[in-house]
Structure 1
């Protein structure tokens, strides 16, 4: 029995040693970084989360470009404006890929009373993307719509969680023993089923000479490319792109608007200045369009500062080097994950006068005119910049202005302090809160 245990210990130690030596050999190809542990890489040091504060500390030690090991997968991190800008634009085509994780294969299959603004905001924003994709809006009372929103929310929360990284380490163990993974699969099945029903409904009602929305145009492309062996247009990809558009078109914009209302109750003087500008320039009954931003410099500056200060995507979506390339003087092998720390750009003390304060003046000149800032990169930069940037900017502007034109937002009676510490996930949401919407 003793001999068996000794052999087992020897085997485990040897395996760990081999893995450690393998890491040391592979590290020579990449920028410097913290020492990875066998099997886990740097996940243990990061508490199984890619957190901006961890990255900030590592950058102080290893520089503005360094390597993290996510289990056995190297990820090159870009920290600060100059590193992110040069890293994603100097050889933009070389880092225009997207990495595939193991979880990817699952995913691709107003009366003045206190209220929680989450559902009204999410409902408003998601119905914009519904109109574009489906050609119709969902009722606020539709149970399937509520469950769809909850499913997308569950998926978004999962993608930067401990469970996500455990799944990447061992899909079998996570799939059998983690309730969160089983819940994700259930959400994906529900989403795909609902979207498939929506697709079938549109196929029946569709008139080929009347293209009304995204699904119609995609179905046209499927018809045009029938028989083409190289075509990628099919109903499976249609359902997947609809899910992608729905998540991307709802989660980030709704989260930013929730931060916007929270900041307005925290900074009532700023809210008042926005309302005074709206009243003076467009009046109380104006229907807003995106072009109005040019006449509303202070309001435009406030919206930009909300995006900068809330910084809901601390880390940009991962890129992948599609060939051997060079970033900031370091050789980067093909198929290397590249992570841009957007937080380090939007709070770069070399680019912002008061990076740790909510200050709309960051986007105003001395005469009160709106100015763009080169370090304002909430939608990232380079070949993989957010394709929904214009839609998001338009929604943020119109919804924010419409709400502040109609209501004054305050804290509920008796509430003196508000928690502004974000809820960590794939997007950084504000903690649940209530406010009062008082008609103006």
Structure 2
């Protein structure tokens, strides 16, 4: 009885919010969009499995800036390279706000780098970028960590002895250990049971965020909190990860040497001590926990999913795998580990890795942005408190930017002479002031891990290349690749 009373009250409140939203909208020159129903908005018109396809259809009718309603929440979708760049880069200050995505809001309790805005976001982003660079992100020191981790990865792959295996958890362990070195100052043994359990939880979070249930949670969090379901299991797993982070922070406090910081946590604790008498400081415990949580989750699953997808692509496109291996054999041979210095001498391999990221389209919607004040854009006014979705899918698959946008084609990143060429529409890490803080780290990991794997193994699958589907298993917040058993044959 109590649940139904709460439900009725919630519906009434939402109806009031809807009326307020509609009345507010009439005051502005909003971008055009399809007609919306009360309370549920445009949800019935949106493909539940691949919402971005519906957004693209709307843009064909209404133009590259489209207003939608997901439930009662007003959303403006930006479609195409020119539009996304115009907002995130050319009007960067107007679009730095982060939308209050309910899944992230609950996971981080509203703190940390990922979900914050204003001065909190500016301080935490500046500190995080500076600290990660100080500990080698994008530099030689980090490269050596990744090279060392690649040896552990190759050793585990070799242990499969040519038998089929699922690489999912192995790749998660590998990429997570890189971010763990930066954040916690240590790597974990691949058999560490606590580490494996946490990685399983992290995988559940990304799958949940990309599932229909996760999408519904982000639209109707008040309802999903009160209904039974998988969402409660996922958030319980996030709490376990949070407890692990809390334990690591306490260990760092007990062993901290302010004159010799070991990692991100140490640097944050030192800054926190320096600002302990400043009432408005953002360097406090809650922001530390949630920022570490952001880095741990994002630095683990996104890169490992991309590498796993790359292996599926190379199994399906054996000619690409063979050409990469020929190039690697010529430039590096088999007696030393790949380095970032090799990248300029491996244009085809570099192009293929970029094409994997473009074709996977891992985060098709980016993370939602949010207008913190009224914004003028493209002759329209986007009101304060509007969620803004820069549709990265429409940039990475735009026909005006790519010769064959819906085919895997490394030539997208090669000029007539076979040299690597950049494309400004390559935005898998988003763009502007909210672009991924770990972009340079992810690029380094992808290159060294994939080149090292191809240097040592040829990849196939038990059912043959035609059994591989490159369409996502889930397509919500992220495009998650399908899982396959693979065979790694030593070269």
TM-score, length-scaled by structure 1: 0.92
Bigger-Rg structure (1/2):
1
Q: CA deviation at 1:265?
A: 0.6
Q: What stretches of structure 2 of length at least 5 have no aligned partner?
A: 1-10, 110-157
Deviations 1:160-180 (A, max 9, x none): 443345445554432232322
2:488 aligns with 437
Any residues of structure 2 matched to 1:18-417 within 5 Å, and which? 24-28=22-26, 29=28, 30-46=30-46, 51-109=51-109, 110=158, 111-168=161-218, 170-412=220-462, 416-417=466-467
Q: Matched residues in 2 for 1:19 and 1:134: separation?
A: 44
Q: Quick check: 1:420–1:430 contact (8 Å CA) kept in 2?
A: yes
Q: What stretches of structure 1 of length at least 5 have no aligned partner?
A: 1-12
Selected match of 1:426 from 477, 482, 490? 477
Q: Secondary structure at the match of 2:481?
A: coil
Q: Secondary structure at the match of 1:176?
A: coil
Q: CA deviation at 1:90?
A: 2.3
Q: CA deviation at 1:298?
A: 0.8
Q: Secondary structure at the match of 1:177?
A: coil
Q: Quick check: 1:408–1:439 contact (8 Å CA) kept in 2?
A: yes
Q: Matched residues in 1 for 2:196 and 2:169: separation?
A: 9
Q: CA deviation at 1:19?
A: 7.6
Q: Quick check: 2:95–2:371 contact (8 Å CA) kept in 1?
A: yes
* RMSD (CA atoms): 2.3
Q: Matched residues in 2 for 1:201 and 1:160: separation?
A: 34
Q: Secondary structure at the match of 2:297?
A: helix
Q: Matched residues in 1 for 2:411 and 2:342: separation?
A: 20
With 388-397 and 230-239 compared, the bigger mean Cα shift is at 230-239
Q: CA deviation at 1:139?
A: 1.5
Q: CA deviation at 1:275?
A: 0.7
Q: Matched residues in 1 for 2:222 and 2:371: separation?
A: 28
Q: Quick check: 1:252–1:427 contact (8 Å CA) kept in 2?
A: no
Deviations 1:124-170 (A, max 9, x none): 00110011111111111122112211222222223344334544555
Deviations 1:356-406 (A, max 9, x none): 111111111111110001111111111111111101111100101100001
Q: CA deviation at 1:267?
A: 0.8
With 314-323 and 401-410 compared, the bigger mean Cα shift is at 314-323
Q: 1:77 to 1:414 in 2, by over 3 A?
A: closer
1:10 aligns with none
Deviations 1:231-266 (A, max 9, x none): 111122111111100111112111110111001111
Q: 1:355 to 1:211 in 2, by over 3 A?
A: same
Q: Quick check: 1:23–1:36 contact (8 Å CA) kept in 2?
A: no
